[in-house]
Amino acid sequence: MRILIIIIAMFTLASCGEKQGKTRLTLGHTLDTRHVVHLAMEYMGERLQHYSDGQMELVIYPGGQLGSEREMIELLQIGSLSMTKVSASPLEGFVPEMKLFSIPYLIRDREHFWRVLDGEIGQSLLDKTAIARLKGMGYYDAGSRSFYTSDAPIRKPDDLLGKKIRVLNSPTAMAMVKALGGAAAPIAWGELYAALQQGVVDGAENNPPSYYLSRHYEIAKYYSLDEHTFVPDIILASLPVWQSLSMEQQGWLSQAMRDSIEYQKSLWQKASDDALAAVIKAGVEVVYPDKVAFQQKVAPFHATFDNSPVAEQIKKIKKM
């Protein structure tokens, strides 16, 4: 079915085509339409229409209609899809430096997170996507990621011993769980509910809105706010599609993207607070563990990056 969807996308979506005098861009993602990232994308479409005076149109395909994040990246690379949203961690396979976001407790809090993204390091990471025939357009807030489990809460690192935890498809994210004593399983987001239900994994890790809107709280009723990583969402464009646009069209799309980033930032904190309130009401036990114990546990893992290609960037981030 996924192969069929990709074939249909390639031949019928017309990722960047003319339709009654309009330039039509297609954007696919895997999230629920209630998610603030989807709402920000809709706003981007509205702003694009505004800046282009109706000459450009953004058509959004949510909920994984066009496949997984990796499948949509591949569609971008061949120019059959205009844009997509991916979590930064799986991009590690395309841009190795993206592993920075999967190093636990490297980012201290939300303020530190945006200082990194809005600065030189954040922009250089977006620029590096060009090597994979992609155009990094900007970052959306995806908050902090924390563990949720089905059988018992995670109060300290040793509680992860022997547990199988779903993570993003990132070698660094998998190594992080191993460093904490667990076993990592990079299961696709769309398959995770069933994996939790069937006991294939004991838990997963994500931000509050994703935990709530995915309904994973129905099975995994323990949520430990250890906030081990801050992994942004990245809006990517197809480099072939981007290069096919005029400079004026590129300017309109870039400005619409910047507007949507500010809009999404304004929505994120309330969405996160509302999601926590909703899962607590549904009977979830929310745990606030001592983060120092987790930070101490992953200190040897941090040391493995001392002589790596990202060592200097890690030092800069820690000094901010």
pLDDT value at position 11? 47
For residue 184, what are the β-bridge partners? 165
pLDDT value at position 229? 96
Structure tokens that stand for 19 in this block: 């339709």
pLDDT value at position 7? 53
**Cβ distance 174 to 102 under 8 Å?**
no
- Specify burial of residue 270 (Cβ count, 10 A radius: 0-12, 13-18, 19+): exposed
Say if pTM beats, i.e. exceeds, 0.85: yes
pLDDT value at position 21? 73
pLDDT value at position 90? 84
User: Which residue's structure tokens are 């990232």?
Assistant: 37
Structure tokens that stand for 253 in this block: 């799309």
pLDDT value at position 12? 46
Q: Would you give the end-to-end CA distance of the chain in angstroms?
A: 47
**Cβ distance 56 to 200 under 8 Å?**
no
- pLDDT digit of tens for each residue in the chain (320 aa)? 555 555 555 544 545 555 567 899 999 999 989 999 999 999 999 999 999 999 999 999 999 999 988 899 999 999 999 999 999 988 988 899 999 999 999 999 999 999 999 999 999 999 999 999 999 999 999 999 999 999 999 999 999 999 999 998 899 999 999 999 999 999 988 899 999 999 999 999 999 999 999 999 999 999 999 999 999 999 999 999 999 999 999 999 999 999 999 999 999 999 999 999 999 999 999 999 999 999 999 999 999 999 999 999 999 999 99
Question: Rounded to an integer, what distance in angstroms lies between the CA atom of residue 133 and that of residue 9?
Answer: 18
- Domains located in the chain, CATH noted: 2-142+232-274 (3.40.190.170), 145-230+279-319 (3.40.190.170)
Question: Rounded to an integer, what distance in angstroms lies between the CA atom of residue 155 and that of residue 68?
Answer: 32
pLDDT value at position 69? 87
